[in-house]
């Protein structure tokens, strides 16, 4: 580990601690803690969404996948981006208009039922847990590679940092860590892309020709099919990616940090531009790594290709750029896990404790205290789980989180806002069918069972053929909600009318609204 | 104040705004119709456009033919996905501004309706 790496690493730690210090002084109420008081601008929240979303899996994983598999590595980028059209067109504005702190608040604006809130909290906790383990395991492995420290120590460093941000600074600290990270990450991407293009004399056609000639795959590198050979498997993965984002609790929570639907809308637009440009640039990083680092060296450093971007930085920019990109990767990890702690904590403290156990009868001080305890508990639990999960496949955990989000959360969100007949029973069955079908199908899929020893958790023939079950579990989530609804006679036209008016106009009664 | 507590207050005061009447009003119905006419076709469009990429790459090979030098059509189609996303974002924001105006008008009517009763 060079001195430059240590200095930049400490600079990021220091900067985020300063942010947390100032955020802590501003965090007085539960509203401050969960939603930064709803006072972020569209620009700030847009950058924070990008910072929350662009994980190390995107930054290092996709650059590596493109370096190793060419076009197929790019599929993830496209799905992750177009997902924001689903968010913008169907989810962001009604969510902002109806919700307060959590997704459960939004669904409960139509159904005052504890079982609905409980199911929504269960989904949030499940999705955030899978996503969190993926991020922490990935973080541990990366920091181990970048800084040469043991896995457990890497997980502890990230774990302690995320705990400090959320525990003391809540959403204000989390948002600003995410904003700073988004700016640093984009700066790093632009510098790297510029250097890669410089090497190709800014001739993109030349870049394609050169890359084709240097990879082991030759012509096939520039064509689809190197990584994804099963058509239905590819479609299922693409479905999970495009619909999953609109159901990810830590992303949805970001929409409560702005004052109204208009600001929520402009923040999605900012996020979409930043995320889109980011994914276009991953292409140059991937190609650059394939050309200037080489397949063998990338594989030798990490079989998944995760070291492609840092190695490229080393190759084209020397030690200083390598240190900077490593530090950016570290900041990236911190920003994402902080958002996840917050979403998990909100489900425990606000939904389960505040609303279900205490039935909403809590003082502001009690709510903040509960939120802090829950953050601490969620952090400690995640760290412990991550320490034991070192050898789990990270990509599988991330795609599973997207699949559960698409199957268990998206149907209930859409039904709540857009379906007149939808009722309490339907809400519960939609959430539980989506959750259970995703979990059960994954547990009998090739990700868990493989005839080849060591390729998956267990040795055996998979009963279900798709690695990512979204193609089946998403329709099941919608179907579960439909059947549950029509089997129950309950309807509440008045309540539906109220939700419809509020979702579409942003109307809030003065004095009673938040 | 807890959410459930707020909801009780909303329920107590719900009589003041007749939401059923609002959603049956002409201006609200027009907003719903306009939104639907805009959002449904475009959502179908972007989903079809998106899924046509993996469907075409999985079941056909014609996107693999070169377009510009060594850059094949599949790359241009992938790039088109990005362009489509940004264009639709911009179009949505423009259109949503007109929905905002309609919504404002509906809220005005609601406020007046409450006062006149």
Task: Please write the tens of the pLDDT for every residue from A300-346.
Answer: 888 888 889 999 999 999 888 998 998 888 889 999 999 999 999 99
Q: What is the mean pLDDT of residues A247-272?
A: 94
Q: Which domain holds residue A274?
A: 3-397
Is residue A354 domain-resident?
yes
Q: Does B5 touch chain A (CB under 8 A)?
A: yes
Give A132: exposed, middle or buried? Use CB within 10 Å, 0-12, 13-18, 19+. buried
Q: Does A489 touch chain B (CB under 8 A)?
A: no
Query: How far apart, in whole angstroms, are the C-alpha atoms of residue A182 and residue A51?
Result: 5
Q: Closest CB to A209: pick one of B6, B70, B79.
A: B70
For the stretch A6-15, pLDDT in tens is: 898 899 999 9
Q: Closest CB to A78: pick one of B47, B53, B100.
A: B53
Answer whether B12's CB lies under 8 Å from A509's CB. Answer: no
The structural domain count of chain A equals 1
Q: What is the pLDDT of residue A219?
A: 80
Structure tokens at A367: 């709510």
Structure tokens at A352: 């389960």
Q: What is the pLDDT of residue B6?
A: 52
Q: What is the mean pLDDT of residues B45-70?
A: 90
Is residue A83 domain-resident?
yes
Is residue A361 domain-resident?
yes
Is residue A160 domain-resident?
yes
Closest by CA to A18, choosing from A160, A154, A164, is A164
Subunit contact A208:B20, Cβ cutoff 8 A:
no
Subunit contact B4:A222, Cβ cutoff 8 A:
no
Report the gap between the CA of B89 and the closest CA in chain A (Å): 6
Report the gap between the CA of A326 and the closest CA in chain B (Å): 28
SS3 A106: helix
pLDDT at A513 > cutoff 50: no
Q: What is the pLDDT of residue A343?
A: 94
For the stretch A187-202, pLDDT in tens is: 999 999 999 999 999 8
Structure tokens at A364: 């502001």
Q: What is the DSSP string of A372-417?
A: HHHHHHHHHHHHHHHHH-TTS-HHHHHHHHHHHIIIIIHHHHHHHH
Q: What is the pLDDT of residue A167?
A: 93
Q: What is the pLDDT of residue A24?
A: 92
Residues of B in contact with A85 (CB under 8 A): 43, 46, 85, 88-89
Query: How far apart, in whole angstroms, are the C-alpha atoms of residue A242 and residue A343?
Result: 21
pLDDT at B1 > cutoff 60: no
Structure tokens at B116: 């006149």
For the stretch A412-468, pLDDT in tens is: 999 999 999 999 999 999 999 999 999 999 989 888 888 887 777 788 888 888 889
Interface of B with A in 54-93 (CB under 8 A): 54-55, 57-59, 63-64, 68-72, 74-75, 78-79, 81-82, 85-86, 88-90, 92-93
Stated pTM of the model: 0.92
Is residue A501 domain-resident?
no
Query: How far apart, in whole angstroms, are the C-alpha atoms of residue A480 and residue A123?
Result: 15
Q: Does A418 touch chain B (CB under 8 A)?
A: no
Closest by CA to A151, choosing from A162, A143, A161, A159, is A143
pLDDT at A510 > cutoff 60: no
Q: What is the pLDDT of residue A390?
A: 81
Q: What is the mean pLDDT of residues A123-134?
A: 92
Residues, chain B: 117
Q: What is the pLDDT of residue A205?
A: 86
Query: How far apart, in whole angstroms, are the C-alpha atoms of residue A275 and residue A367?
Result: 34
Phi–psi pair at A247, nearest 5 degrees: -125, 5
Interface of A with B in 349-388 (CB under 8 A): 354-355, 358-362, 367
Percentage of chain A exceeding pLDDT 90: 61
Mean pLDDT of chain A: 90
In which band, very low, low, confident or very high, does the pLDDT at B12 lie, cut at 50, 70 and 90?
very low
pLDDT at A89 > cutoff 90: yes
Residue with tokens 């307060």: A100
Enumerate the β-bridge partners of residue A258. A40
Interface of A with B in 96-115 (CB under 8 A): 100-101, 105, 108, 112
Q: What is the pLDDT of residue A392?
A: 79
Q: What is the mean pLDDT of residues A138-143?
A: 83
Q: What is the pLDDT of residue B15?
A: 47
Provide the pairing of β-strand A449-450 with A458-459. Answer: parallel
Report the gap between the CA of A144 and the closest CA in chain B (Å): 34
Is residue A333 domain-resident?
yes
pLDDT at A236 > cutoff 90: yes
Interface of B with A in 25-44 (CB under 8 A): 28, 31-32, 35, 39, 42-43
For the stretch A390-400, pLDDT in tens is: 887 777 788 88
For the stretch A351-393, pLDDT in tens is: 998 888 888 888 888 899 999 999 999 999 999 999 988 887 7
Q: What is the pLDDT of residue B17?
A: 80
**Packing angle of the helix pair A493-505, B26-59 (nearest 10 deg):** 80
Q: What is the DSSP string of A198-235?
A: HHTTT-HHHHHHHHHHHSTTGGGGGSTTSS---HHHHH
Q: Which residue of A has its CA nearest to B15?
A: A494
Q: What is the mean pLDDT of residues B70-97?
A: 94
Is residue A20 domain-resident?
yes
Q: What is the pLDDT of residue A52?
A: 94
Mean pLDDT of chain B: 85
Helices and strands counted in chain A (H then E): 22, 2
User: Which residues, 6 or more positions from A456, have their beta carbon under 8 angstroms from its beta carbon?
Assistant: A446, A447, A448, A449, A450
Q: What is the pLDDT of residue A222?
A: 84
**Packing angle of the helix pair A470-487, A410-418 (nearest 10 deg):** 40
Q: What is the pLDDT of residue B115?
A: 61
CATH code of the domain in which A100 resides:
1.20.1730.10
In which band, very low, low, confident or very high, does the pLDDT at A1 lie, cut at 50, 70 and 90?
low
Subunit contact B103:A74, Cβ cutoff 8 A:
no
In which band, very low, low, confident or very high, does the pLDDT at B79 lie, cut at 50, 70 and 90?
very high
pLDDT at A231 > cutoff 80: yes
Is residue A222 domain-resident?
yes
Q: What is the pLDDT of residue A409?
A: 96
Q: What is the pLDDT of residue B70?
A: 83
Structure tokens at A310: 């840092």
Query: How far apart, in whole angstroms, are the C-alpha atoms of residue A62 and residue A33?
Result: 33
Answer whether B88's CB lies under 8 Å from B96's CB. Answer: no
């Amino acid at each position: 580990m060079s001195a430059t790496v240590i200095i930049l690493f400490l600079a990021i730690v220091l900067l985020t601690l300063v942010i947390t210090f100032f955020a802590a002084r501003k965090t007085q109420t539960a509203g401050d803690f969960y939603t930064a008081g709803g006072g972020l601008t569209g620009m700030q929240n847009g950058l924070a969404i990008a910072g929350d979303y662009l994980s190390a899996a995107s930054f290092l994983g996709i650059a590596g996948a493109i370096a190793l598999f060419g076009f197929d590595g790019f599929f993830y980028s496209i799905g992750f981006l177009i997902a924001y059209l689903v968010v913008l067109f169907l989810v962001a504005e009604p969510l902002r208009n109806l919700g307060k702190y959590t997704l459960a608040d939004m669904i409960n604006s139509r159904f005052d039922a504890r079982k609905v809130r409980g199911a929504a909290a269960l989904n949030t906790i499940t999705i955030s847990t899978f996503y969190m383990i993926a991020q922490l395991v990935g973080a541990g492995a990366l920091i181990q590679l970048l800084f040469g420290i043991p896995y457990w120590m890497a997980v502890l460093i990230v774990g302690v940092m995320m705990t400090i941000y959320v525990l003391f600074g809540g959403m204000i600290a989390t948002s600003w860590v995410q904003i700073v990270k988004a700016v640093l990450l984009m700066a790093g991407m632009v510098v790297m892309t510029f250097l890669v293009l410089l090497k190709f004399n800014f001739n993109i056609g030349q870049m394609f020709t050169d890359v084709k000639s240097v990879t082991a795959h030759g012509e096939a590198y520039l064509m689809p099919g190197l990584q994804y050979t099963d058509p239905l498997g590819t479609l299922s993965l693409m479905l999970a990616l495009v619909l999953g984002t609109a159901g990810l609790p830590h992303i949805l929570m970001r929409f409560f940090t702005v004052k109204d639907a208009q600001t929520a809308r402009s923040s999605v637009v900012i996020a979409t531009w930043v995320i889109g440009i980011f994914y276009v640039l991953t292409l140059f990083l991937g190609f650059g790594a394939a050309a200037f680092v080489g397949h063998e060296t990338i594989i030798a450093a990490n079989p998944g290709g995760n070291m492609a971007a840092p190695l490229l930085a080393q190759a084209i920019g020397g030690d200083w750029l390598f240190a900077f990109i490593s530090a950016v990767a570290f900041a990236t990890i911190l920003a994402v896990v902080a958002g996840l702690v917050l979403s998990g904590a909100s489900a425990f403290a606000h939904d389960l404790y505040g609303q279900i156990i205490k039935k909403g009868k809590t003082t502001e001080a009690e709510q903040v205290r509960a939120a802090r305890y829950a953050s601490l508990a969620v952090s400690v639990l995640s760290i412990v789980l991550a320490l034991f999960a070192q050898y789990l496949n990270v990509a599988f955990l991330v795609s599973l989180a997207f699949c559960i989000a698409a199957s268990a959360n998206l149907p209930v969100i859409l039904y709540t806002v857009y379906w007149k007949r939808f009722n309490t029973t339907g809400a519960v069955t939609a959430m539980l069918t989506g959750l259970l079908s995703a979990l059960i199908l994954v547990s009998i899929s090739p990700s868990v069972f493989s005839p080849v020893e060591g390729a998956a958790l267990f040795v055996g023939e998979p009963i279900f053929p798709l690695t990512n079950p979204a193609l089946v579990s998403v329709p099941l989530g919608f179907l579960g909600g439909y059947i549950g609804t029509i089997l129950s006679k309950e309807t509440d036209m008045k309540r539906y009318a109220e939700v419809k008016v509020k979702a579409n106009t942003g109307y809030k009664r003065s004095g009673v609204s938040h | 104040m807890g959410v459930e507590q707020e909801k009780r207050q909303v329920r107590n005061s719900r009589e003041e705004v007749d939401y059923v009447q609002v959603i049956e009003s002409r201006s609200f119905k027009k907003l719903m119709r306009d939104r639907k006419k805009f959002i449904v076709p475009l959502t179908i469009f972007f989903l079809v456009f998106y899924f046509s990429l993996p469907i075409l790459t999985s079941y056909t090979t014609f996107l693999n033919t070169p377009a510009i030098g060594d850059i094949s059509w599949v790359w241009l189609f992938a790039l088109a996905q990005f362009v489509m996303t940004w264009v639709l974002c911009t179009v949505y924001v423009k259109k949503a501004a007109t929905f905002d105006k309609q919504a404002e008008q509906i809220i005005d009517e609601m406020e007046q309706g409450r006062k006149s009763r």
